Amino acid sequence: MDEKDLIILHEDNHIIVVLKPQNVACCPDESGDDNLFDCIKRYLKVTYNKPGNVFLGLVHRLDRPTGGVMVFAKTSKGAARLSEQMKNGGFEKRYYAVLGGVPARKQATLEN
């Protein structure tokens, strides 16, 4: 994934909110595949001409097959506040699925 492919929904001094494409890892894993976390770090390094290692806080995850909105912290202060919000229920996660055909039941639970 190249940093020019990032879809940035919001960015301020403390956070960056991006759209994670499906089938892209949200952070480094044993596969060694490129991932959203490293892509955002490259974007921050180039865009803001940052020397050395760029801080980026991973606040939550999305499974590789899942696409959606992700929030990352650009500062340690932002990471602490976002982590506190996650812990105290300040975040709401919603998952939507696209189905082919008509489901057999009106309501069910998907476990993956």
Task: Give the separation between CA 75 and CA 103, rounded to whole angstroms.
Answer: 44
Collect all residues with Cβ–Cβ distance below 8 Å to 84 and sequence separation of at least 6.
90
Q: Can you tell me the distance from the alpha carbon of 7 to that of 24, in angstroms, rounded to the nearest whole number? A: 13
Amino acid at 104: A
Q: Please tell me which residue in 5, 29, 33, 63 is annotated as part of the active site.
A: 63
What single DSSP character describes residue 101? S
Both tokens of 99, joined, read 């189905």
Farthest-apart Cα atoms in the chain, separation? 56
Give the amino acid at 112: N
34 is catalytic: no
**Which sequence positions are flagged as catalytic?**
63
